[in-house]
Structure 1
Amino acid sequence: MKKFLAMSILAACSSSVFADVNYSLAITEPEHHLGNVSVEFPETAQAHLDVKLPAWRTGRYEILNLANGVRFFDAKDDDGKPLKWEKIDHSTWRVHLNEPTHVNIDYQVYANELGKRARHIDDSHAFIDASGFFMFSESFRQDPVTVKLDVPKAWRSVSGMENAGSKHSFKAADYDILVDSPIETGINELHKFTVDGRDYELVIWGDGNYDVEQMLTDLKKLVATGNVIWDSYPYERYVFMVHATSGAGGATEHLNSTIIQRPRDRFGSRKDYLAFISTAAHEFIHTWNVKAYRPKGIAPYDYTNINYAKTLWIAEGSTSYFEDHLLVRSGIAKTDEFFDTLTKTINRHLQTPGREVQSAAETSFDKWINQGGDHARNYSTNIYLEGSLISMALDIDLLEKSDGKISYRDVHRALYNKHRLPDGFTPDDVKAILKELTGRDYSAWWQANVDEPAAIDFDALLAKVGLGLTRPEGAKSVPSIDSFAKNSGELLTLTHVRRGGAAWQAGLTTDDKIVAFNKKHVGKDLKASLETFKAGDTVTVDFIRRDALQSTTLTLGEDFDKEKKVTALKDATPAQMALFKAWMGVDHPNQAK
C-alpha cells in the first residue's frame, strides 16, 4: 500500500522526470516597455498547477511585488484548448486540469523599472532577471529550462548561462540557476578576456565617460585575487554587466555574473572610478559569499515570501569589508584611498544613533522591513555598515591573538569548504569555525558584538595595526544643531535630527522649516548661518511646522570643521606594522621610512 501511494504521488507531480520547462520572450514593442512571455510546462497529472512569479529578486531583500506588471494571463492544454484558471494570491495563478496534459502559459510583462534590476525594456535594450519575467511552478523547479528571445535584429544577448543553439537562446539546469543568471540584450559593447584559465566578459549598455581599457586592466587584476580568501573558484566563466545610464544606480550579485548600474557621467574622476571598481569587487566577492554559501533562512530561496536570517550582516557587511582588501592587495587602490574609505565608514557609524539601539543580528532579521529616513538612522542600523565594522573588529582580534597567523579570511574559507549550498550556515556554525580555528570560545564576543549593539573602541582597535583615528591639525570647533538640512527655496528643511542632539532636545523634528536664529534669517546654508555663534550658546529658533510659525530655544552643540581621519601612526612599532601587513597584505605606509 505504501509503495503504491508513493508511486501515485510521484505520478501526480509529473508524468516525466526532469523534462524541460521552455520559456520564450518576444520583445515586439520595446518603446512601450512590453514583452510577451510564453511558458511550456511538462505534462502533469495534478488536479491543478500553481504557477508563480517571484515577489522579490535575489540580492535585494525587499518584497517588490513583481507580479504587478503581468497582464493578459492565459492558459491552454496540449491541444490549444483554454484551461480554467484563477489568481489565488498576489503572485500565484492556479490552473485547473481535468486530465494529464502539458500546460502552456502566455502573458504580457510591463518592464520599466530599471533601478530595481529585475525588469526593463526599452528601444535600446532589455535587462531580463527571471524573477521579473518568468513564472515557475514548484512542481518543476528542479527541471532543466531553456530561454528563447525574439528581439530586434541588431541586438546582442549576453548571460552567465550557456547558449542553447543560437545567439538569443540559453539553457540552465533548473529554475534556481535561471533566476540567478540575468540576460542583457540590446545595443551594447562586449569585451572578452581570460585570467588563470577562466573566461570573462564585460558587456556595457549605454554611453558614458568610462575608460574601457582601464576597466579591463583593473578587472583582470581583481579577478585574480580570489585565492586571497578562498581555495578555489566556483565558476569557469564570469560576466560583468554594466549599465551607464541615468536615474538608476546600484548593483546586484548573481551566480556567475553581476549587474552594475551607474550614472553615465560618474566614471571619469578618480573618486567615481573607485566607486565603480569597488562595486565590482563587492559583487565579485559575492560569487563566494552568498552565491556559494549563505545564511540558513535564505537557503534555499523562497521566492514568494520573506526569507529571515540573522546573519545577513555576514552576507553583505563582510562582503563590503573584503572589497577594500582585494583592491589594496591587487594594487588597484592605494592605502591612502583605503584609509579614506574606512574614515567615511567609521564616521558614518559614529553619526548613526541607531548603532546604540539595534544589533547586527536584529538589523539582519529586519532587513526586509527596515524603513529609511530619519527614524531609521536614530533607531536602526544596516547590515552593510555594521557588518563591515564588526568584520574588521573580528579580523583584527583573530590576527592579534594568533600573531598574524589566523584571520577572518580563514573563517570564510571554512564557510566555503564546509557549508556550501544547498545547506545554509547558522550563527552556531560560524562560532564553531572560530573555535576550531583558534581553540577559543567566541560565544561571549558574539553576544557582545552581534546579538547586542556593538560598542567598538576604534582608537584601541586601529592602534593594533598601527593606525589612528585623529582630528587633522588646525581643526576648529564650530557650533552645531546636530541635524542635516536641505535647501527648499528660501528656507532650510530639516532632513535628519540626530537623536539626543541639540535640535532633538529643543523639540525640532524632520520637515521643520527653519526660518531664523535669534530673529535673523538663516539663508540657504545652515553652517554659514551659525558662524556668528559658538558651541554652548543658547539661541531662539523660529521655524514653520504645519504651515504655522513657531519658536523654541536651543543650546548649540559642538562639532568640528574637519572630521577625524584614519591615518598611519608615525611611531608605529614593528609589531604593529607586522600585524598591518598580515591584515592588509601590503606594507604599513611607514614600513620603509
Structure 2
Amino acid sequence: MKYVVSYKDSDRHFIDFKLIVDAKGLSNINLQLPSWRPGRYELGNFAKNIKDFNVVDSDNKKVRFSKKTKDLWEVECQNTDQFIVSYSYYASELNAGSTYLDKYQLYVNPVNCMFYNSQDLDLEYEIEFKLPSDYKIHTSLENLGNNTLKASDFDQLADSPIIASNSAQQRSLTINNINFSFCFQGEVKVNWEKMLKDFTSFIKYQINLFGSFPHKSFLFLFQITPYSSYHGVEHHHSTVILLGPTYDVFEKLYKELLGVSSHELYHVWNVKGIRPSDMLPYDFSKENFTHMGYVFEGVTTYMGDRILFESGVFSTDQYFNELEKLFQRHFHSDGRNHYSVSESSWDTWLDGYVQGVPGRKVSIYVEGALIAMICDAKIRKATGHKKSLHDVMKALYSGSNEITSYDMNSYKNTLETVSGESFTSIFDKIIYGKEDFKDFLEEALKVFGWKFSVFKSENISWQLGLKTYFKNGHLKVLNVLDKSAAYNSLVVKEDEILAVNDFRIDNNLDHWLNYFENDQIVLKVSRNGKILNLNMNSRNDHQYFKYKFFE
C-alpha cells in the first residue's frame, strides 16, 4: 500500500490523499477507514471528513466501488492489477488526536484519515509527502528519505502521528541507552534546561520501575496553542500533547505539562504494552468494549502523578494538590451512587467524553485513579512496604515490545499474588459495585501517613449544591447535587439564571448570593421559554465541599 499526501491551499484545511493499491488476482478489496482511535474510547466517525472519494485504474479509467458501511468502501478490482484511490480530508480541528493543516504545519494522525485493507492488516505501507522544501518531518516512523516514511503494517501506521513544519523546536537526549526526542510545534519559549532535568528524572524512574523500556527510541510531540488547551494521546513509540496558552506552558501550566507527559509515557507500558484482552488486537471498525478502564486509564492517572512525586519532580504539596482534585471530582459526582466504574468503562463508547445525563456515570480516570491508590496502599500495608502496585504492573509487563493481555480475573489474581491478600471486597464493592469510597480512602491514606479534611467552599453556590457556567453572556446551570438545597428548590440542569432577588446577574452569581446570604433567596430562571421564580431552601449537608490533604 502506498500513500501520496499533498495539499494545495493550507488555509482551506483540505489534505489530498492518493492511495495506490495492488489488486492482482483479487476480485474486490474492502477499504476500511477507522471509526475510532486508541486513547479515545468513543466513535470518531472520521469518514465525515472525507470528500471526493474516487477510484481509477493505472490507465485513469474509472473503477467501480460502493460504500458498505459508514466507513467501509468495497472496490471491484477483478479487471485491474492496480487501482488508485483519491480523496480529500478536511483537517480543521487541532487536538492531540486529530489531523490538522494550516500554513504553519501539516499534522497527520493516520488513524483518522488513512485506509487499511480489512482482508489483510499486515500489508506494509509507504507514505510519500509533497511538502515545502524547508519542511522537516517529525515522527517515530522509519524515514526512507525524500519525505517518505515506512510502516510495517497498519497497526504501526495508525499508532504513529506525524508533524511536518519548518518551525518545530527539537532536542534529544539519551536515558538508559534510549533516545528520547522532544519536538515543540507552535509558538513557545522552551525552558530546555528545566524541562530536560525534570523529564530525565521521571523517565528514568519509570524505566527503572518496569526494569526496561520496550523500544530504542521515543518521541514527545508537543502541540502548543495560543489559547487554553489540554490534551494528551498515547502511542507506543511516541505521544502527542496539546497545551496552551503559550505564555503559561512553562509558568502556570508547567505542572500540567509534567503531569500529562508522565501519564502518556506510562501508557507505553499500560495499554500499549499491557492491554485488556477485549482490545487485543484493536478492531478499528467498531467499538472495543471493556470493563477494564479502571486499569488502563485509572492506574495510569494515579501513576502519572505518583511517579512525579516519588521521583522528586513534584513536592509533597504539589502532589497533595493533585490528590485534592481527584477527591473533589469524585465526591462532587452523583454518578458514584448510580453506576460503577466498570460499567462506566463499558459505556465510554456511549457517553464517556460528554457530561451526559445528570448522575448517570463516573469517570474511569478519576475513580480508577482512586481505586489504584487504594490497591497500592493495601499491597504496601500487607507487605510492610516491600511491595506496591508498581510490582503488579511490572508482573504484567512482558519485558519487551511484546504485548501482553489481562482480564479482570488475571489482574485481580496478580494483585493478590503480589500482596498475599484478598481483593474481593475492593472488586465487589467499589469496582463492580457502587459502595461509598470514603472508608477505603481513609484506610489507604493511613498507610501513607496522610489525612484529609473536608470544609465548606467559599462559594455560596457550591454550598447550595449548584454549579454554573457562563457562555455568550448567559449564566446556566451545569450541575445540581442530589438532595442539596438547589436540588430541593427544583433547580435543574440548563436553567438560565437571570436574577437573584430581582437583581439582574451577569457572571457574578456568588457576589449576589453572598450579599443575600442571610435573607430568603429567590432565583429567577428561564426554562424552556418560561420565566420561573424559585425559592431557595436553606443550605444542608449536601454540598460541593472542598478537600485538603496534610501529613
* TM-score normalised according to structure 1 size: 0.86
Q: 2:234 aligns with which of 246, 250, 253?
A: 253
Q: Which moved more, 1:367-376 or 1:302-311?
A: 367-376
Hey, what does 1:429 align to over in structure 2?
410
State the shift of 1:256 in Å: 0.7
Partner of 1:577: none
Post-superposition shift, 1:105? 2.0
User: CA 1:292–1:217 in 2, change beyond 3 Å: closer, same or farther?
Assistant: same
Q: What is the alpha-carbon distance in structure 2 between the residues aligned to residue 271 and residue 315 of structure 1?
A: 28
Structure 1 position 251, deviation (Å): 1.1
SS in 1 for 2:52: strand
The one-letter code sitting in structure 2 at the alignment partner of 1:31 is D
What is the rounded CA distance, in whole Å, between the counterparts of 1:415 and 1:228 in structure 2?
A: 15
Q: Which of 338, 345, 364 is matched with 1:357 structurally?
A: 338
8 Å contact from structure 2 (residues 96, 232) kept in 1: no
Match of 1:132 among 112, 126, 130: 112
Q: Which residue of 2 aligns with 1:155?
A: 135
Taking structure 1 as reference, are residues 477 and 376 closer, same or farther at Cα in structure 2, changes over 3 Å only?
closer
- One-letter amino acid of the counterpart of residue 556, structure 1: S
Q: 1:475 to 1:512 in 2, by over 3 A?
A: closer
**Partners of 2:68 and 2:74 within 8 A in 1:** yes
Structure 2 counterparts to residues 149-228 of structure 1, below 5 A? 149-164=129-144, 166=145, 168-187=147-166, 188-228=168-208
Deviates more, 1:206-215 or 1:88-97: 206-215
- How far the C-alpha of 1:452 sits from its partner, in A, is 0.8
Q: Which residue in the other structure is 1:555 paired with?
A: 537
Change over 3 Å in CA distance of 1:459–1:429 after alignment to 2 = closer
Aligned match of 2:276: 295
Which of 358, 368, 390 does residue 387 from structure 1 map onto?
A: 368
Q: Work out whether residues 23 and 77 of structure 2, in 8 Å CA contact, stay in contact via their aligned partners in 1.
A: no
Alpha-carbon separation, structure 1, partners of 2:405 and 2:216: 23
Amino acid at match of 1:123: K
Per-residue Cα deviation, 1:293-324 (whole angstroms, up to 9, x for no partner): 11122211111211101001211111110011
Structure 1 residues 307, 68: closer, same or farther in 2, change over 3 A? same
Provide the C-alpha distance between the structure 2 equivalents of 1:503 and 1:561, rounded to a whole number of angstroms.
11
C-alpha contact (below 8 Å) 1:192/1:202 kept by paired residues: yes
**Partners of 1:468 and 1:440 in 2: how far apart?**
24
Equivalent residue, structure 2, for 1:67: 47
Matched, 1:406 2:416: no
| C-alpha contact (below 8 Å) 2:298/2:369 kept by paired residues | yes
Aligned to 2:442: 459
**Which stretch of the first structure deviates more once superposed, 334-343 or 247-256?**
247-256
Give the alignment partner of residue 359 of structure 2, picking from 378, 386, 389.
378
Equivalent residue for 2:257, pick from 276, 285, 298: 276
Pairing 1:520-531 to 2, within 5 Å after superposition = 521=504, 524-531=507-514
Match of 1:481 among 453, 460, 464: 464
1:65-104 maps to which residues of 2 (within 5 A)?
65-99=45-79, 101-104=81-84
359-368 vs 420-429, which moves further: 420-429
- Shift of residue 153, structure 1, vs aligned partner: 0.9
| Residue pairs, 1:34-53, within 5 angstroms | 34-53=14-33
Task: Tell me whether 201-210 or 169-178 shows the greater mean CA deviation.
Answer: 201-210
Aligned to 1:16: none
User: Do structure 1's residue 117 and structure 2's residue 80 form an aligned pair?
Assistant: no
Unaligned runs of 5+ in 1: 1-20, 569-593
The number of equivalent residue pairs is 545
Deviations 1:236-261 (A, max 9, x none): 11001011114553111111100111
Q: Give the percent of matched residue pairs that are identical in Structure 1 and Structure 2.
A: 23
Partner residue, 1:416: 397
**Letter of the structure 1 residue corresponding to residue 269 of structure 2:** W
Residue aligned with 1:94, SS: strand
**Alignment RMSD:** 2.7
Go from structure 1 to structure 2 and tell me whether the alpha carbon gap of 1:521 and 1:104 turns closer, same or farther (over 3 Å shift). closer
Query: 2:219 aligns to what?
Result: 239
Structure 2: tracts of 5 or more residues without a match: none
Letter matched to residue 341 of structure 2: A
1:549 and 1:294 mapped to 2: Cα distance? 52
TM-score (norm. length: structure 2): 0.92
Q: Could you tell me which amino acid in structure 1 is paired with residue 49 of structure 2?
A: G
SS of residue matched to 1:49 = strand
- Contact 1:78/1:102, CA 8 A, preserved across alignment: yes
Does the Cα contact within 8 Å between 1:278 and 1:327 map onto a contact in 2? yes
Letter aligned with residue 426 of structure 1: D
CA distance in 2, matches of 1:511, 1:99: 58
Which residue pairs with 1:314 in the alignment? 295
